[in-house]
Amino acid sequence: MNKSIQFDAAGRLRHFLTIDGLNRKLLVRIMDVAESFSSVTEQQVKKVPLLRGKTIVNLFFENSTRTRNTFELAAKRLSADVLNVNIANSATSKGESLLDTIRNIEAMHVDMFVVRHEASGAAHFIARHVAPHISVVNAGDGSHSHPTQAMLDMFTIRQCKGDFSKLKVAIVGDILHSRVARSEILALNTLGAAEVRVVAPKTLLPADVSGLGVNVFHDLDQGLSGVDVIVMLRLQKERMSGAFLPSEHEYFTYFGLTGERLAKANPNAIVMHPGPINRGVEIDSRVADGPQSVILQQVGNGIAVRMAVMSMVLGSHGVANVGAAS
């Protein structure tokens, strides 16, 4: 993927497509701006006028509830006009018809596309072909990238734990099909986490896992030993074309997060999940709803982080010369 496409000629953030190629300064800036928006939800009028007059299109070729809702709320709290286009069942799998869709919506004089697509690279493809005044935010593309989810998780970790340099983080589950895992590994390493672990059966690990900057574990008890943050991932059965696991019951037996297994981590470890949760498959309900869970905090933080990204991309928070990796 061409990472430089995310920046304009002056080095300002034009699109938000991937964590890859972004530096620590920009990731911290996103979290700082999100922090400034966190109090908006406590106001009687939950709006700021930063994007008044802008039109943001939620273009979701793949089903979503949580992500689309938080993007819509974020845009509205920035006072933007929002158009939701749910075309998950449309015949838009070919590049030509995808471009036709983009061109037709561009004719409505919009300012931003928020794109979710089942094909890896779709958001980059759209960003390369949109009109110069339009920005693109990637809301998840295939198994490739989900940068705003990674950033809301980083924001949640920072709220709970502070300094990344002291943290050991375990990402558990379907690493192979997870765009969240790939984005979070990049973000955690960029922010200087002390250790990033992935814990999964061999069938759910990508072939290039050794080059991702992680330590690999196939035993959950060992993988959770002494960690500060646990990120549980759901089994993405919709992306599985073969028999990756004997059964969901057997998966939970070996890789499901229970109270007993949570005790292997540090006593004040937090439990995260990007959702949707498959209770009794990757996580026990008592853990998901327990005192160490910050899953609902993640959902709330999604609004502030997406407000930050959209406002930065559309220029309300100038970020010239802080974005590209050095």
Binding-site annotation, residues for carbamoyl phosphate? 66-67, 116, 146, 149, 275-276
3-state secondary structure of 124: helix
Which position among 68, 77, 116, 144 bears the catalytic label?
Answer: 116
Which position among 3, 66, 161, 239 bears the catalytic label?
Answer: 66
Tokens of 220: 């959950």
Provide the strand spans (E) within 257-324: 270-272
Determine whether 197 is an active site residue: no
Which position among 15, 29, 54, 67 bears the catalytic label?
Answer: 67
Q: In this structure, is the dihedral angle defined by the CA atoms of residues 45, 50, 54 and 59, taken in order, positive or negative?
A: negative
3-state secondary structure of 36: helix
Nearest to 85 by CA among 99, 73, 97, 102: 102
Annotated binding site: 66-67, 94, 116, 146, 149, 179, 234, 275-276
Other CB atoms within 10 A of residue 209 CB: 17
Annotated binding site for L-aspartate: 94, 179, 234
The b-or-e profile of 193-206 (16+ CB within 10 A means b, else e) is beebbbbbbeebbb
CA distance 264 to 270: 12
Determine whether 128 is an active site residue: no
Tokens of 71: 């993007």
Determine whether 94 is an active site residue: yes
Which position among 146, 182, 197, 273 bears the catalytic label?
Answer: 146
Cβ within 8 Å of residue 318, ≥6 positions away: 12
Active site residues: 66-67, 94, 116, 146
